Amino acid sequence: MDQALQVVSIIVSVVLVILVLLQAKGSGLGNLLGGGDSGGGITRTRRGLEKTLFQITVVLSFVFLMVAILSFALNR
């Protein structure tokens, strides 16, 4: 069971990294602090593929968290 959780954790983490890298460019630290060319800090609406990527990223983040908690609980 422990090896299966490790494999799932590795797969989810790799897919999560890929999804984060596929997110829209221009949403870096500069925009977080009000810089960049995003219109003075005005947020824009996610649509289409960008919205789907964001939703999948959120779900996979939750899955990764649950796998980590389950792995910790089983190893205690």
Structure tokens at 73: 């609980």
Q: Are 63 and 11 in contact (CB under 8 A)?
A: no
Residue with tokens 């897919």: 15
Q: What is the C-alpha to C-alpha distance for residues 23 and 57, in angstroms, rounded to an integer? A: 9
The dihedral region occupied by 16, where left means phi > 0, alpha psi between -120 and 50, and beta the remainder, is alpha
Question: pLDDT tens digits, residue range 12-39?
Answer: 999 999 999 998 665 555 555 655 555 5
Q: Is the pTM of this model over 0.85?
A: no
Question: pLDDT tens digits, residue range 59-70?
Answer: 999 999 999 999
DSSP 24: P
